[in-house]
Amino acid sequence: MTLAENPINILIHELSKLPGVGEKTAMRLALHILRQPRDYGQRLARALEETVAKVRFCANCQNITTEKICDICASPKRDRTTICVVEDVADLKAIEKSQCYRGYYHCLHGSLSPVDGIGPEELKIGELVQRLTTQIETREIILATNPNVNGDATALYLSKTLKPFDKKITRLATGIPIGGHLEFIDQNTIARAMEGRRVY
């Protein structure tokens, strides 16, 4: 058996592909799995197999689900007039956890990043455009991409792409966090807060 065929090396190699996991962390994770009772590794393998086999993208919003349509899109209690566009499922979950939004979502599964070779075709932008041609009740599209270079570029691209639909397009406000102190906040955040100030 060569080093490349060694199951431990294969496991470390696959774990190191996870975001934020380097080779050393992958090795620690692999050793942790091996130190557990045998059924732990088997349960982990089954969970991965079931996830890959059963989880899919919602046909409507691209959220992850085990059904054709996710629970959010299937709910009759949601506000049909708004779509909140997020970069990934973690962002969707964060907004849901805040309980401040009751409309629908659209998950892009990334943001524009020419350096990494990620253009509009790699994101779920086409699905959003297609959705807006059929969902005539939508009045507002909230661009909830992250407040960084890639997120801003994505929001700008979306605002131009979606303009022909004649919908209200808004962007999440950014600025000083609640409980923050100005002296500890970076200059870009202060600048954004100043630009986005509102009548009090």
pLDDT digit string, tens, across residues 17-44: 998 999 999 999 999 999 999 999 999 9
DSSP state of 177: P
> Residue 185 domain-assigned?
no
Q: Which residue has the higher pLDDT, 84 or 178?
A: 84
**Predicted pLDDT of residue 194:** 78
pLDDT band at 94 (very low <50, low <70, confident <90, very high): very high
Domain that holds residue 40: 3-54
User: Do 89 and 48 fall into the same domain?
Assistant: no
Q: Considering the chain, what is the average pLDDT of its residues? A: 91
> Residue 122 domain-assigned?
yes
User: Do 96 and 152 fall into the same domain?
Assistant: yes
User: Do 79 and 46 fall into the same domain?
Assistant: no
Matching residue, tokens 């979950």: 93
Is the pLDDT at 113 greater than 70? The verdict is yes
Matching residue, tokens 């599964």: 109
Q: How many residues in the chain?
A: 200
Give the Cα-Cα-Cα angle 130, 89, 148 (nearest 5 degrees): 90
Looking at this protein, which amino acid is placed at residue 97?
K
Average the pLDDT over 189-194 and give the result.
80
Is the pLDDT at 3 greater than 60? The verdict is no
How many structural domains comprise the chain? 2
> Residue 38 domain-assigned?
yes
- Give percent of the chain above pLDDT 70: 96
